[in-house]
Chain A
Amino acid sequence: MTKSHIKVTINGKVVEALVEPRTLLIHFLREQQNLTGAHIGCDTGHCGACTVDMDDMSVKSCMTFAVQADGASITTIEGIANADGTLSALQEGFRMMHGLQCGYCTPGMIVRAHRLLQENPDPSEDEIRHGIAGNLCRCTGYVNIVRAIQYAAAKINGTPFQEAAE
């Protein structure tokens, strides 16, 4: 199959590659770029385990062709930690609040929450719940994921952490 040339900025690094037109972005990231943090959970766009940030939007990379990412800037879970390698506020929040168990949905969930907090730095619990409704978690029951995001929001905003009211 004829391959297409793409140029993508991934976690701040410019990458050029040849991909088949039908190659999904998730497979390009996982198999060609060895960025295995984003996962495949459903193949139908429902679970959000494959979520990456593309041009400041949360994108389900199993619903996106790699060629669609040509010229785009992508952040994956591998690009979320602080520049000095320490855990970002969100990553720390997920750990502190026990917002993960098997870890399979976690990269997509954190990348989604990262965008959510850019869009809405001080979300209510209800806004968080709706904001992550495109990401399924089978383990946690979401209570602690909501707390994790609240924890991160508070840390980023420099406000005391408290569970937000509805």
Chain B
Amino acid sequence: MNEQVKIDLDRAERAEKLQGMGCKRKRVEDIRFTQGKGSYVDDLKLPGMVFGDFVRSPHAHARIVSIDTSRAKALPGVIAVLTAADLKPLGLHYMPTLAGDVQAVLAEEKVLFQNQEVAFVIAEDRYIASDATELVDVEYEALPCIVDPFRSMLPDAPILREDIKDKMTGAHGPRKHPNHIFEWQIGDKQATDDVFAKADVTIKEMLVDHRTHPSPLETCQSVASFDKVKGELTLWGTFQAPHVIRTVVSLISGLPEHKIHVIAPDIGGGFGNKVGAYAGYVCSVVGSIVLGVPVKWVEDRMENLSTTSFARDYHMTTELAATKEGKIVGMRVHVLADHGAFDACADPSKWPAGFMNICTGSYDIPVAHLVVDGVYTNKASGGVAYRCSFRVTEAVFAIERAIEVLAQKLGMDSAELRMKNFIRAEQFPYQSALGWEYDSGNYHVAMQKAMDTIGYRQLRAEQAEKREAFKRGETRELMGIGISFFTEIVGAGPAKNCDILGVAMFDSAEIRIHPTGSVIARMGTKSQGQGHETTYAQIIATELGIPADDIMIEEGNTDTAPYGLGTYGSRSTPVAGAATAVAARKIKAKAQMIAAHMLEVHEGDLEWDIDRFRVKGLPEKFKTMKEIAWSAYNAPPPNMEPGLEAVNYYEPPNMTYPFGAYFCIMDIDVDTGVAKTRRFYALDDCGTRINPMIIEGQVHGGLTEAFACAMGQEIRYDEMGNVMGASFMDFFLPTAVETPKWETDFTVTPSPHHPIGAKGVGESPHVGGVPCFSNAVNDAYAFLGAGNIQMPHDAWRLWKVGERLGLHA
């Protein structure tokens, strides 16, 4: 073996040992999770712990005439019953929402949605607490309710929020009606209207992204433990953003922030459900402060689906203007946003409609105008980003459905229409008409790769044949080809436009190298299944040349982790991942000085080589990071502070813009409405790939949730405001039997502004998946003149489409 080959082999072996970025490292978390040794909130058992449970409103809108807690209090084992009357003197009967509104913790004079919290029973065990909720006697006087958001602003609509009825300016400007929350406008209205007035072709479609729920398998829960002697509160909870929760608890309770210890242990999925602050958290805290014992609150599934944070409910009138050759010249969108009874959307505070203005999508659209009106209805509050950055699923749904409608009107292939209008690679960084600067993209290449891989032309030919066969009565099956090409906007975000209640949306990493060269690192984010303990370690491994197995990652304990804004909106990799790389580079710079001292050379004479600094031209003279760590503590250069650690609070200069091309091939039985996904191909570009195994897992999961949303999942209300189907009996969560098989693929276009070029991937498949499924369904029926078919596309609704079109015998 010649010398060079030996050197190369040695380097390859050393690199492999690190298990750094790009390798399919097996997850650290799985050792405990596969043995049932995870530690979730409901696993906590503290001495003297008691249990809380809610009395909830059966009405969607009613005045509370009286609350009598005497029968409940008389039940053996019941310790206390809290009502608004108990919270009001503490100023805690309302809490601030992330969207600048307030939300009732316990209803005071009125209830505004079914299952709203009215009283909180605390008892020795959860069974007694549950029994006692039925012994609280509440007298209601039912009021007319609003379920349809299009009725919210009618002149004779009942006023829902009496607490703010005279406040005609809300957190986001003037309100046009007592049931109006905000109007948010962006873009050039005049220029857009002008383009539409002169355009060859225009389309206008009402696209509804219906109300649904993130529904992680673990519900929302908390345990509060107040130490009266120390005046300290420890709060364990299902928190995607534990540091923000600590700040909010401090602000509303008056306890100093350093005396509040918020701990988010293992979390059983979040998907946006666990970003907000809920009545249960507040009541467990108040209960513990009042009683001096730990109070546990655990939602049941019905409570979860019907109260804590719905998603979507956007009614989007979407218009496109184009030349007859198919060049899109303008976009106009009006959204009626149903926010429920309180505006508790989890968006950065300045963005009442999230990043809905990403709705121009992947296309070079010169002018656009967007208006969003938010209104109150008698439904649960929320409006969270369900596995997406803020309102990005809604935005992508609007543009990707609209482009199909336009293609049909133009009589043009929709893949070709997309190709014709894509932002070209040389246009990046690209300024969109609605105010974003897209960092990087290579859309044509991704689309072409996807089309070639699935054999797009052949599929269209097959579809044409099948349509003819259908017309001849030879088959009862319709074939749909769904396409979506999405651009996400994730990694919120730059302080200039992103904050939550005034807290800028930076994130953080703190890395400490121990003398023996092993590492503990802590971040301000919080994994809920994304595998942070595995992937952050891979970043550090590559940056610092320390094996990932020697690096422990910790998150979720606000006492030990640096402040960060948490995990949602695919922000962990774009923001805390960047902080991790930057902190590691600070350590590396110090390590280089130490190595120079150890090797008695000038710093500039050293070069980095996988896990060591070596003298340029003398590869046998080197110091490994492990050796440097020992010296950093025990023999640092003169005048250098000992130790080897760094912290970085990273404020991103821009968002990141992951993108992808998805194709869905679907066969629908016209007579039963049953839709079968024959093939689903997802090409994602999330920039630099840290762990391909985890990326693939994220894509599988996101696609499955997209499949659920598009094909059946829904939170529905009847005209009385009764929530229909708030259990897994009715709420569609696909099993292994219904779930299609997923094919994944990728291209790599790094983010130019991110230290390692990564963009985030957790939510892309959901964002791109929902319109892809809906487009497949719409495409299947398009040749029959079906017009726009709204989601969700369950068999019953698709059967009705067949019925409407007279396709049934």
Contacts and interface: CB of A to CB of B under 8 A. Distances in A.
Given A78-B36, A100-B30, A103-B268, A140 B700 contact: yes
Contacts of A80: 35-36
A107 B42 CA distance: 15
B43 A30 contact: yes
A13 interface: no
Contacts, number: 173
A137 B700 contact: no
A141 to B, nearest CB: 3
B150 interface: no
B529 A102 contact: yes
Interface stretch (B152-160, B513-521, B737-745): B737-745
Contacts of A136: 217, 728, 733, 735
B22 interface: no
Given A31-B45, A138-B733, A144 B216 contact: no
Contacts of A78: 35-36
Contacts of A128: 736
B40 A39 contact: yes
Interface in A132-157: 132-146
Given A77-B36, A144-B697, A41 B737 contact: no
- Interface size, B (range): 35 or more
A26 B639 CA distance: 61
Contacts of A130: 736-737
B31 A95 contact: yes
A159 interface: no
B460 interface: no
Nearest to A91: B34
Contacts of A34: 45
B26 interface: yes
Nearest to A125: B741
Contacts of A102: 216-218, 266-269, 528-529
B300 A95 contact: no
Given A77-B35, A101-B529, A142 B728 contact: no
Contacts of A27: 126
Interface string B26-52: 110111111111101011010000000
Contacts of A37: 35-38
B34 A95 contact: yes
Contact of A43 (B217, B302, B737, B741): B302
Nearest to A95: B30
Interface stretch (B195-203, B470-478, B701-709): B701-709
A102 B214 CA distance: 14
B440 to A, nearest CB: 28
B109 interface: no
Given A30-B43, A41-B301, A47 B700 contact: no
A38 B42 CA distance: 11
A65 interface: no
A98 B27 CA distance: 8
B530 A101 contact: yes
B694 interface: yes
Contact of B30 (A94, A141, A146): A94
A24 to B, nearest CB: 9
B308 interface: no
Contacts of A142: 700, 704, 735-736, 739
Contacts of B589: none
A20 B128 CA distance: 12
B218 A81 contact: no
Contact of B217 (A98, A104, A141): A104
A138 B45 contact: no
- Among A105, A129, A142, find the residue whose CB has the most chain B CB atoms closer than 10 A: A142
Nearest to B38: A103
A130 B735 CA distance: 9
A25 interface: no
B727 interface: yes
Contact of A46 (B42, B300, B728): B728
A104 B269 contact: yes
B531 interface: yes
A8 interface: no
A106 B697 contact: no
B34 A110 contact: yes
B222 to A, nearest CB: 15
Interface in B682-706: 693-694, 696-697, 700-705
B783 interface: no
Contacts of B38: 37, 103-104
A96 to B, nearest CB: 7
B693 A98 contact: yes
- Among A22, A37, A98, A102, find the residue whose CB has the most chain B CB atoms closer than 10 A: A102
A135 B30 CA distance: 19
B729 interface: yes
Contact of A138 (B37, B301, B701): B701
Contacts of B298: 40
Given A37-B36, A49-B217, A91-B35, A139 B701 contact: yes
A42 B728 contact: yes
A76 B701 contact: no
B727 A42 contact: yes
Contact of B42 (A40, A43, A133, A143): A40
Contacts of A107: 36
A43 B301 contact: yes
A35 interface: yes
Interface string B407-421: 000000000000000
Nearest to B694: A98
B438 interface: no
B742 A104 contact: no
B428 interface: no
A105 B528 CA distance: 13
Given A40-B42, A41-B301, A98 B696 contact: yes
- Among B26, B33, B733, find the residue whose CB has the most chain A CB atoms closer than 10 A: B33
Given A102-B216, A104-B269, A36 B30 contact: no
A87 interface: yes
A2 interface: no
A162 interface: no
B150 to A, nearest CB: 32
A140 B697 contact: yes
B215 interface: yes
A76 B529 CA distance: 22
- Among B38, B40, B298, find the residue whose CB has the most chain A CB atoms closer than 10 A: B38
Interface string A70-92: 00000011101100000100011
B269 A138 contact: yes
B271 interface: yes
B127 interface: yes
B701 A140 contact: yes
A105 B34 CA distance: 10
Interface in B388-417: none
A159 B219 CA distance: 40
A44 B45 CA distance: 24
A112 to B, nearest CB: 11
A148 to B, nearest CB: 10
Given A87-B35, A98-B696, A139-B697, 5 more contacts: A20-B127, A30-B43, A44-B729, A95-B34, A133-B737
8 closest A-B pairs (Cβ-Cβ)? A37-B36, A102-B529, A104-B268, A103-B33, A141-B700, A77-B36, A101-B529, A46-B728
9 contacts: A41-B217, A43-B301, A103-B32, A104-B216, A129-B735, A136-B217, A139-B529, A141-B702, A146-B736
